[in-house]
Chain A
Amino acid sequence: MSTLSAHILDEIRELPAKYPQHRSAVMPALDLAQEELGHLTPEAMSEVAAALQLDPGYVEGVATFYTLFHLQPVGKHRFYVCTNLSCMLRGANEIVEGVKRATGLSEPGEVSKDGLFSYEEVECLGACEYAPVARLDRRYEKDLTPARIDSLVNDRRLPRRYQRAAARAETDAAKPAPARRRAATTKKKKSG
């Protein structure tokens, strides 16, 4: 039983024909795998390698080079917050703090308990006239303020009834500490 579904593997096998040399298909193929799984597991990379008739180590070497390939789980909504100079001069650090506060995350790469959010501090996004900027859900959020971050996060939270169900499931799974912390965070959001 493979990690990647059959139709994705079929799609990957068809990629090499689009390029003058088959190796060029490796990044589009990893894209498809990542889109299906959220991040690239070792098994997924091996399956991509097999489908493209490449060495698994080679595929992993490519995947580890580029920042847009995720080797660890990521949130459903990812903040890529630019912290390079142009954004830094216009308050990027406050934006990072705002993302942490709004999502309850404490460090880049961490995923919120509900699986909804993660964030990364990234290099120049090439939208310096709108600094500070972040990329979220495949679009650029411009002229950011901490208040705008709050509303971006709130818009993406689950409806409350699902949140309660998720919290119960977590308690049932005998993880009282994170569940409590999350409940507290949620409450703070509401009052704030």
Chain B
Amino acid sequence: MAEQRGTVGGPVLTEWFSKRNLHKLAVYESLGGYSALRKVLGEMTPAQVIDEVKMSGLRGRGGADFPTATKWSFVPKDHPGPKYIVVNADESEPGSAKDRYLLENSPHALVEGAAIAAFAIGGHTAWVYIRGEYDLPYEMLRDAIAEARRKGYLGERPFGIDYPLDMRLYRGHGAYICGEETALLESLEGKRAQPRSRPPFPALKGAWGMPTAVNNVETLSTVPWIIRHGGAEYAKRGTEKAKGTRMVTVSGDVQKPGNYEIEIGITYRDIIEGLAGGALPGRKIKVFWPGGSSAKVLPASMLDTSTDLDGLKALGTMGGSGGIIVMDDSHCVVKAAARLVRFYAFESCGKCTPCRVGTNWAVRTFDRILANEGSQLELDLLDRIQQGVQGGRCLCGLGDSAGFVIQSTMARFRNEYEEHCLQHTCSVEGALAHA
């Protein structure tokens, strides 16, 4: 059991997190765990399960924010061969650690949720693609699956019902791109993880060419609660369009970094200054990434922004995978942007030219800027590069994300960029000793 740094006893996902040994099947079951899977298999049809989840309004928590029930309904009902649920446990978005938190505390919630999802799409197997660095979550999930099999909740006749269900694990080996669902599927098939062109969409041709729904850990871990309490109960929480609760990870320059379960609709001030304890002593918050490093930054003056997903979209940013990175006035925005752009360049899979070339070009430009070799040319170049990597020119959003970092930090903190490029100083972090 891992040390908990975040919400315990929250409304939905972390409801039972204060219970000792929640990762053991007996404890999970004593609290009501696996009653949802039992109910689904014994009393419901796949269509009813999808309807219940549709009523909840649950949307994907991996970052794409796509309605979960709709995704499941795209999987053809009459397909003769195997159909798969693939669980995306390749959490690698900078600033996001919430899936790890869920897995380390309540692995059975994912086992149960994935089994329900498999039933909902008329499949029998859920494959979990879990990032290779997650050793402890992998072990906990492996043990949870083994326990569920022993108990007969997974297997040929779960709960004595003639509907075989199984769950399998596949370990990633270090590639951010595997969080992108088609790259993940390539990797699961034993290939270099490069995104596929769509169509065909995974719902028709996914893992090993079979109809597949790819869902995030948090999304599926929410499903058992929805079945137990009803979709309508879940939909009472959140905003009019963005229902329910979600996990956020707060990291960076705050007093209490952690994984918090929030009701969608509270503000970033509620999270950063409330739950996470606000800025470090003597410092002021300057900027925050509202949903992972791929979300466009917002300045501290916008802390009262709601976590409502559609509202964030309207602002041109996103709630993404819930990774809130907070930076205070002691840190330089240009240096932070340079670090993130280096990340995207390193993780670019190389398949699409604008992303492969553009991100590396941006890295070289930032290198010059941080070596005090910047000028108006570098400012103009960064602007051209961020435009060039954006706009759906690539098969996935990785290049766009690098563009968002450059675009949003330049738009909000033009002064810091100009200081670096035109005056070769940094009033934030002092003299530029090194890149």
- A and B: interacting chains: yes
Find the residue from B97, B210, B323, B325 having the highest chain A CB count within 10 A.
B97
Q: Does B361 contact A (CB under 8 A)?
A: no
Q: Which residues in window 17-33 of B have CB below 8 A to A? A: none
Cβ distance B83 to chain A, nearest Cβ, rounded Å:
12
Cβ distance A68 to chain B, nearest Cβ, rounded Å:
4
Partner of B175, one of A65, A80, A83, A126: A65
The reply to whether B97 and A69 contact each other, CB–CB distance below 8 Å, is no
Q: Does B339 contact A (CB under 8 A)?
A: yes
Nearest to B193 among chain A residues (CB) is: A65
Q: Does A61 contact B (CB under 8 A)?
A: yes
Q: Does B160 contact A (CB under 8 A)?
A: no
The reply to whether A129 and B259 contact each other, CB–CB distance below 8 Å, is yes
Q: Does A158 contact B (CB under 8 A)?
A: no
Q: What 1/0 flags go to A55-97 for Cβ under 8 Å of B?
A: 0000001100111110000000000100111101110000000
- The interface stretch among A133-141, A167-175, A181-189 is A133-141
Q: What 1/0 flags go to B363-401 for Cβ under 8 Å of A?
A: 000000000000000000000000000000000000000
- The interface stretch among A3-11, A25-33, A104-112 is A25-33
Cβ distance B138 to chain A, nearest Cβ, rounded Å:
10
The reply to whether B208 and A62 contact each other, CB–CB distance below 8 Å, is no
Q: Complex: how many Å from CA A130 to CA B331?
A: 19
Q: Does A24 contact B (CB under 8 A)?
A: yes
Q: Complex: how many Å from CA A31 to CA B6?
A: 33
Interface of A is mostly: mixed
Partner of A85, one of B82, B101, B135, B340: B340
The reply to whether B251 and A123 contact each other, CB–CB distance below 8 Å, is no
| Given contact pairs A27-B190, A66-B173, A88-B339, A124 touches B100 in the complex (Cβ within 8 A) | no
Cβ distance A97 to chain B, nearest Cβ, rounded Å:
12
The reply to whether B176 and A21 contact each other, CB–CB distance below 8 Å, is no
Q: Does B136 contact A (CB under 8 A)?
A: yes
The reply to whether A66 and B93 contact each other, CB–CB distance below 8 Å, is no
Q: Does B347 contact A (CB under 8 A)?
A: yes
Q: Does B71 contact A (CB under 8 A)?
A: no
The reply to whether A126 and B251 contact each other, CB–CB distance below 8 Å, is no
Q: Complex: how many Å from CA A123 to CA B174?
A: 9
Q: Complex: how many Å from CA A130 to CA B327?
A: 16
| Given contact pairs A123-B94, A128-B97, A68 touches B132 in the complex (Cβ within 8 A) | yes
Instruction: Enumerate chain A residues within 8 angstroms of B82, measured Cβ to Cβ.
Output: 20
Q: Complex: how many Å from CA A68 to CA B173?
A: 5
The reply to whether A123 and B339 contact each other, CB–CB distance below 8 Å, is no
Find the residue from B5, B6, B174, B258 having the highest chain A CB count within 10 A.
B174
Q: Does A125 contact B (CB under 8 A)?
A: yes
Q: Complex: how many Å from CA A115 to CA B136?
A: 26
The reply to whether A85 and B293 contact each other, CB–CB distance below 8 Å, is yes
Instruction: Enumerate chain A residues within 8 angstroms of B15, measured Cβ to Cβ.
Output: none
The reply to whether A123 and B323 contact each other, CB–CB distance below 8 Å, is no
Instruction: Enumerate chain A residues within 8 angstroms of B192, measured Cβ to Cβ.
Output: 61-62, 65
Instruction: Enumerate chain B residues within 8 angstroms of A84, measured Cβ to Cβ.
Output: 94, 293, 339-340, 343
Q: Does A164 contact B (CB under 8 A)?
A: no
The reply to whether A124 and B92 contact each other, CB–CB distance below 8 Å, is yes
Q: Does B131 contact A (CB under 8 A)?
A: yes
Find the residue from A28, A66, A83, A90 having the highest chain B CB count within 10 A.
A66
Q: Does B203 contact A (CB under 8 A)?
A: no
Q: Does B408 contact A (CB under 8 A)?
A: no
The reply to whether B97 and A126 contact each other, CB–CB distance below 8 Å, is yes
Q: Complex: how many Å from CA A23 to CA B97?
A: 30
The reply to whether A68 and B92 contact each other, CB–CB distance below 8 Å, is no
Instruction: Enumerate chain A residues within 8 angstroms of B323, measured Cβ to Cβ.
Output: 128
Instruction: Enumerate chain B residues within 8 angstroms of A21, measured Cβ to Cβ.
Output: 189-190, 208
Find the residue from B133, B172, B174, B189 having the highest chain A CB count within 10 A.
B133
Q: Does B191 contact A (CB under 8 A)?
A: yes
Q: Does B57 contact A (CB under 8 A)?
A: no
Find the residue from B170, B171, B251, B343 having the highest chain A CB count within 10 A.
B251
Q: Complex: how many Å from CA A184 to CA B175?
A: 39
The reply to whether A67 and B173 contact each other, CB–CB distance below 8 Å, is yes
Q: Complex: how many Å from CA A69 to CA B101?
A: 26
The reply to whether B100 and A126 contact each other, CB–CB distance below 8 Å, is yes
Cβ distance B345 to chain A, nearest Cβ, rounded Å:
11
Nearest to A20 among chain B residues (CB) is: B208
6 contacts between A and B (CB under 8 A): A20-B82, A69-B174, A86-B252, A89-B327, A129-B101, A140-B136
B residues adjacent to A (C-beta < 8 A): 5-6, 82, 91-97, 99-101, 131-136, 170-176, 187-193, 207-208, 210, 249-253, 257-259, 289, 293, 323, 325, 327, 331, 336, 339-340, 343, 346-347, 349
